[in-house]
Amino acid sequence: MTKTGTSSPGRPGQVLPTPSHTVGPFYGYALPFRGGEEIAPLGHLDTITVHGYVLDGAGRPLPDALVELWGPRPDGTVPRVDGSIRRDPATGGCLGRNGVEFTGWGRVQTDAGGHWYARTLRPGARGRGAPCLSVCVFARGLLVHLFTRIYLPGDEAALAADPLLTRVGDRRDTLIAAEQAPGTYRFDIRLQGEGETVFLEFR
């Protein structure tokens, strides 16, 4: 079963998926990279800061969660730019981003206090939805990662028209970040219990 047979393309669901597993506790020397949270090009005027805590069912912050962010440019287009984790061919070390190009993707580990932050570009609207950043959360104890979204407050008409926000009813506030200062937004991720974040299953 580990060797998937040759298959004819175009018949969906034909090959069975590899099961997910937890990221475990010891990815910290491997997956995070320098500048993973600095997604916005340096000095870009559309830069926003998003930050918050990842909390468990007892309200305790997770010191070992990994958050990935993925979002479009301010004009709504999706970057196809590599270079998030550039390597130095001379030393094999990590160079990180070049501060000029926008890859749209970042990765940040929570600190010892369970806090994470990222600076990225304000996402533009795409399709039928209000502008948002896509979030993928990994942690020790979490057997399958969790997807959610960060919507930004401000354009109430766009938020009111968003299909997902409309469907989740009174839980919509868990998906909308709180503006703390111009361009700075707080977004906590509650894995369980009171105020549990809305998590998504893409079909």
Nearest approach, Cβ of 67 to other proteins (angstroms)?
A: 12
List the interface residues with other proteins, window 9-38 (CB under 8 A).
9-31
Which of these ranges, 44-52, 66-74, 113-121, 179-187, lies near other proteins under the rule CB under 8 A?
66-74
59 in Cβ contact with 114 (< 8 Å): no
Kindly determine how many residues on this chain lie close enough to bind other proteins according to the rule CB under 8 A. 89
List the interface residues with other proteins, window 136-175 (CB under 8 A).
136, 138-147, 163-164, 167-168, 171
Which of these ranges, 21-29, 59-67, 73-81, 92-100, lies near Fe ion under the rule CB under 5 A?
21-29
Q: Which stretches within 10-123 are classed as H helix?
A: none
State which residue, 139 or 176, has the beta carbon closest to Fe ion.
Answer: 139
Which of these ranges, 100-108, 113-121, 153-161, 176-184, lies near other proteins under the rule CB under 8 A?
100-108
- Taking the C-alpha atoms of residue 203 and residue 186, their distance in angstroms, rounded to an integer, is 28
Chain centroid, CA 24 distance in Å: 18
β-bridge pairing 132-139 and 115-121: unpaired
Which of these ranges, 20-28, 116-124, 134-142, 145-153, lies near Fe ion under the rule CB under 5 A?
20-28
Closest CA to 102 of 155, 151, 40, 146: 40
24 interacts with Fe ion by CB under 5 A: yes
87 binds, among other proteins, Fe ion, none (CB under 5 to 8 A by kind): other proteins
Q: Does residue 164 sit in helix, strand or coil?
A: helix
State which residue, 88 or 111, has the beta carbon closest to other proteins.
Answer: 88
Ramachandran area for residue 114 (φ above 0: left; ψ -120 to 50: alpha; else beta)? left
99 binds, among other proteins, Fe ion, none (CB under 5 to 8 A by kind): none
Please report where in the chains the tokens 């993925």 appear, as a residue: 70
Q: Give, in degrees to the nearest 5, the angle at Cα 107 between 142 and 141.
A: 10
127 interacts with other proteins by CB under 8 A: yes
Please report where in the chains the tokens 């990935």 appear, as a residue: 68
192 binds, among Fe ion, other proteins, none (CB under 5 to 8 A by kind): other proteins
- Residues at the contact surface with Fe ion, assessed by CB under 5 A: 24
